[in-house]
């Protein structure tokens, strides 16, 4: 499977190794695929700014409720904040292309 994973924090790209790419890919696509009505995942972008989470699935905005917003936000902020060299996160974007 050819894939591309991009991570940016505060609008700056973050270098990630194969393990982190794989972990982000499986975590994000697993979470998105568990949402109702999601079938084919070709591209997913998750953006977090403040308390707001936005999910774009195959180029379309995915409506989410408060629980899903908080689940994605807390999971991704927890994962990314532990990476070496990542500053305080004000804005986060993860883009997965499969």
pLDDT by residue, tens only, the chain of 98 residues: 568 999 999 999 999 999 999 999 999 999 999 998 898 999 999 999 999 999 999 999 999 999 999 999 999 999 999 999 999 999 999 999 99
DSSP-assigned letters across all residues of 62-86: PP--HHHHHHHHHHHHHHHHTSTT-
Say whether 6 sits in a helix, a strand or coil. Answer: strand
Q: How far apart are CA 57 and CA 75, in angstroms?
A: 18
Q: Where are the domains of the chain?
A: 4-97
- What is the per-residue pLDDT for 87? 95
Token pair of 79 as six digits: 């994962």
Kind plus residue range of the DSSP H or E element containing 44: strand 43-49
């Amino acid at each position: 499977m050819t894939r591309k994973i991009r991570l940016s924090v505060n609008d700056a790209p973050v270098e990630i190794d194969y393990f982190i790419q794989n972990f982000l890919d499986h975590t994000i696509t697993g979470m998105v695929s568990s949402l109702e009505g999601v079938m084919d995942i070709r591209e997913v972008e998750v953006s977090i700014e403040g308390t707001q989470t936005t999910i774009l699935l195959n180029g379309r905005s995915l409506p989410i409720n408060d629980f899903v917003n908080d689940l994605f936000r807390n999971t991704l902020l927890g994962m990314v904040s532990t990476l070496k060299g990542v500053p305080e996160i004000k804005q986060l974007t993860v883009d997965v292309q499969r």
